[in-house]
Amino acid sequence: MNERSKRAQMERKRRIRRKKQRRRVLISALVEVLILAVLALAFCWDRGLSAKVSGVLGIFDRPPATELDVSGVNSSNVLLMDVKSGKVIGNLNGEERIYPASMTKIMTAIVALEAFSDLDHEITLSENIFYALDGQDATQAGFQPGESVRVRDLVYGVMLPSGAECCLALADEVSGSEEAFVEKMNKKAKSIGMKDTHFMDCTGLHDPEHYSTAYDIALLLKYALHNDTFREVAESHFHSTPATNVHPDGITYYSTMFKNLSDPSVTGGKILGGKTGFTNAAGSCLASFAEIEGVEYILVTAGAMDGGTPNIADAVTVYNRLGEAAQALR
């Protein structure tokens, strides 16, 4: 082998060694980066990232708490449900018949929302609506006979201030009469699986044949929350309408729930929205939903006969219990 060949062979060997060295350095660097990434993830996981990641990726299919004692509250009927799975977490006379009062308006709102493709469509409230409500002791949002109001503003009026005139205006526009609209409500109830519910009106005014159960109302709210507009309405603390032919400055009305709930925070989360109800026969009622430790729940309470706002107090009590139970399992 001549001198030139020897030098070429040595150069090839040096290049091979240099490549091997670079490869070893690269592998070593990658291993160090991987170790640092694992340590960083472990640190963040310990700081609570696990709950966020599980919420985003849906790693945990089961709620943090699978059973909760809901007794010892003001309400005689209580039903706590996991929204995603429909699993009942707490039950106190949840299948017993109740008078739903203005929780009825959840059905009124969702039937109306599903009937209109244009929520900016205007409806003129007839004088007959107000004649029908005269002497009924029904809550109203503040609209007047002859006033033209958008569908979306009427839906807010149904859910937030519990406006009976808004219910009747939507019912007349959708079905031509309240009676025909109530038929739609009862058909919808059957399709949702509300097996022990019968509506007689769209406002929730008392009638012995107007009944439901806490479980059925939970099913109703679970169904309604799939509608993005309904969810937006139910989560609103207040709503301001644009100018109308009667109210040049519009009307601002407030949620009957949030008006009596100064702080929606509860242990491990917060109350997101809901619909109150009250008649002398029904007592104070509330269908609400909250997010606790990244899981959404529905709570329906009815039959609270104490003064004040026992329905709101019961919701705070139960959701706090749920948060404490969920945190104890972490």
Locate the domains of the chain by residue range: 1-60, 77-328
| 147, 247 contact by CB (below 8 A) | yes
| 232, 152 contact by CB (below 8 A) | no
Write out pLDDT tens, residues 234-264.
Answer: 999 999 999 999 999 999 999 999 999 989 9
Write out pLDDT tens, residues 76-125.
Answer: 999 999 999 999 999 999 999 999 999 999 999 999 999 999 999 999 99
| HEC readout, 182-221 | HHHHHHHHHHHCCCCCECCCCCCCCCCCCEEEHHHHHHHH
| Region 77-328: CATH code | 3.40.710.10
pTM summary value: 0.81
